[in-house]
Amino acid sequence: MTYQETLDYLYTKLPNFTREGAAALKPDLTNTIAICDILGKPQNTFKSIHVAGTNGKGSISNMLSAIFQKHGFKTGLYTSPHLIDFRERIRINGEMVSRDFVINFVEKISPHIDRIKPSFFEITVAMCFQYFAEHKVDYAIIETGLGGRLDSTNIISPILSIITNIGYDHADLLGNTLPLIAREKAGITKYKIPVIIGESNSETDPVFIEKSKQEEAIIYFADTNPNYYNTEIESDLKGSYQQKNLVTVMQAVEVLKTLGIPLDLFKVASALQNVKQLTGFSGRWEILSTKPLIIADTGHNEHGLKLVIEQVLKQKYENLHIVFGMLKDKDRTKILKLLPQNATYYFCSPNLPRGLNPDDLLLECLELGLKGNVFTTVKNALQAAKNNAKKDDLIFIGGSTFVVAEII
C-alpha cells in the first residue's frame, strides 16, 4: 500500500473517535495490551512521562519535549489529534514518523486486526510505542487521548505523571461532575511514581490525594507551590493561559531533577522560548496575520474557551469577527454563553460526521443575541470575514480543533 492507501485503510477499517465520537471508543486496555504483546511490549523499553488533563496537556507535552530535546536527549512525543498530517502524532526530536514506518507497521499488524478489532486510536498508540522502541528514545512524552484510567496510553510505567487540570469535557463519557472526571484522569497515577496536579480545585483535590495515597505516590500541586522563577521564564507559545502551563512545567522540572535528571535552568528557558521550532507545535493562539489581526486557537470546551475568549477581548481592535464551528457531541449550553455579543459571527462546521450543522448553531446563537451568517465550509467563512474586516479589526477562528485544522 502507498502512504495514502494506508491512511485510508486506517480511517475506513477502524473505529475512529475523531470522526464518529463515542461509538468508536473501546473503554478498556485489552486491545492495546493485545497489540503490544504481539509487538513484544515496546512500551516497556523507554522511560516516559504521562500527561493527562482537560486542557493544556498538548502544550505541556510539547514544552517538556522541547526541554528534553534541548538537553540532548533523544525525545519521543506522542500527541493527538493531528492538525494537518497524521504523522504529527508521533515525533522524535520534532521530526514526524516516516511514511515508510506507518506503511510497514500497518502491514505488519493488519493480519491481527480482524481478530482483535482495535480502534484507530489503539493502533496509533501501539504504532507510537513501537516507533519509540525501535529508535531507542531516551525519554518519551505521552499525552493521553481521553480520560486516563482507560485511555490506551495507560499501559506505560512512567517516571512521572502529570494531570493538568479538570474541567467539563466529554462528560458523557467521563462523568458529569468534576470529581467523577477527576477520578478518570487520576487513573494514570502509578505505584510510587510522583504525580503533579497543575491546577488545584477544592472539588477535585481530594480525589487526587486519595488516589496518591492508595498508590503511595508523592503528589505535588503546582499552582500552590510555584517555583520562584516561574514568572521570569517565557514561552514562544503565546496566550495568557500558557502561564498556568508554565507553572506546571516548571514544577515538573523540579521533580525530574529530584529523580536524577540533570536539567539546567538556562537550557530549560531556551527550550521554552523555542517550543514551536523544536517540536513543530501549532494551533495555540496562532497568529496568522497582522492587518487585520487573525488569531486561531484550538480551545474547544468551557474551561479552555473561557480563557481564550478573555484574551481575545483584551486585544486592541476596531471590530471583532469570529469564525466559529463546533462538534455536535459537545455540551454547548455553557460554551455559547461565553461568546461576546459585540462581534460578527461566521458560523461553519468542520468537515467531519461529528461536525455540528451551522444552521443549528446559528439558531442556538440567535437565542443568545449573537448575530451572524452561515457558511458551507470553514474556508468560506474565513474568506467572508476577511472580506468584511478592516485592517484594524480582529478575526478570531475557533470553537473546535478541527475548525482550526482546516485553516492551518
Instruction: Specify the pLDDT at position 107.
Output: 96
Under DSSP, the state recorded for 238 is: -
- CATH class for the region spanning 286-407: alpha beta
**Residue of higher predicted confidence among 219 and 18:** 219
C-alpha cell of residue 248: 506546571
- Segment 255-267, tens digit of pLDDT: 999 999 999 999 9
In the predicted structure, residue 229 carries a pLDDT above the cut 80: no
Long-range contacts of 136-139 (CB under 8 A, 24+ apart): 136/45, 136/46, 136/74, 137/46, 137/74, 137/75, 137/76, 137/92, 138/46, 138/47, 138/68, 138/73, 138/74, 138/75, 139/46, 139/47, 139/48, 139/49, 139/68, 139/73, 139/74, 139/75, 139/76
Tell me the β-bridge partners of 153. Answer: none
Q: Are 403 and 356 in contact (CB under 8 A)?
A: no
Instruction: Specify the pLDDT at position 94.
Output: 97
Whether the model clears a pTM of 0.75, i.e. scores above it, the answer is yes
In sequence order, what DSSP letters do the residues of 27-67 get, joined into one string?
A: -SSHHHHHHHHHTT-GGGSSEEEEEE-SSSHHHHHHHHHHH
C-alpha cell of residue 364: 442556538
Quick one: average pLDDT of 220-237?
78
In sequence order, what DSSP letters do the residues of 70-107 get, joined into one string?
A: HTT--EEEE-SS-SS-GGGGEEETTEEPPHHHHHHHHH
In the predicted structure, residue 90 carries a pLDDT above the cut 70: yes
Structural Rg of the chain based on CA atoms: 21
- Segment 114-170, tens digit of pLDDT: 899 999 999 999 999 999 999 999 999 999 998 899 999 999 999 999 999 998 765
Identify the band that residue 371 occupies on the pLDDT scale cut at 50, 70 and 90.
very high
Quick one: average pLDDT of 40-62?
97
Quick one: average pLDDT of 348-375?
95
Quick one: average pLDDT of 374-403?
97
Quick one: average pLDDT of 263-273?
96
- CA distance linking residue 401 with residue 83, whole number of Å: 8
Instruction: Specify the pLDDT at position 25.
Output: 60
Q: Domain boundaries in the chain?
A: 3-279, 286-407
Q: Mean pLDDT in the chain?
A: 93
Identify the band that residue 173 occupies on the pLDDT scale cut at 50, 70 and 90.
low
- CATH class for the region spanning 3-279: alpha beta
CA distances from 33 to 16, 38, 79, 108, 154 (A): 19, 9, 19, 16, 10
Identify the band that residue 228 occupies on the pLDDT scale cut at 50, 70 and 90.
very low
C-alpha cell of residue 236: 514562544
Instruction: Specify the pLDDT at position 17.
Output: 55
In the predicted structure, residue 319 carries a pLDDT above the cut 50: yes
Percentage of residues in the chain with pLDDT exceeding 70?
94
CA distances from 114 to 118, 125, 261 (A): 8, 18, 43
Instruction: Decide whether 3-279 matches 286-407 in CATH topology.
Output: no
Instruction: Specify the pLDDT at position 187.
Output: 97
| Contact partners, residue 230, CB within 8 Å, separation at least 6 | 246, 247, 250
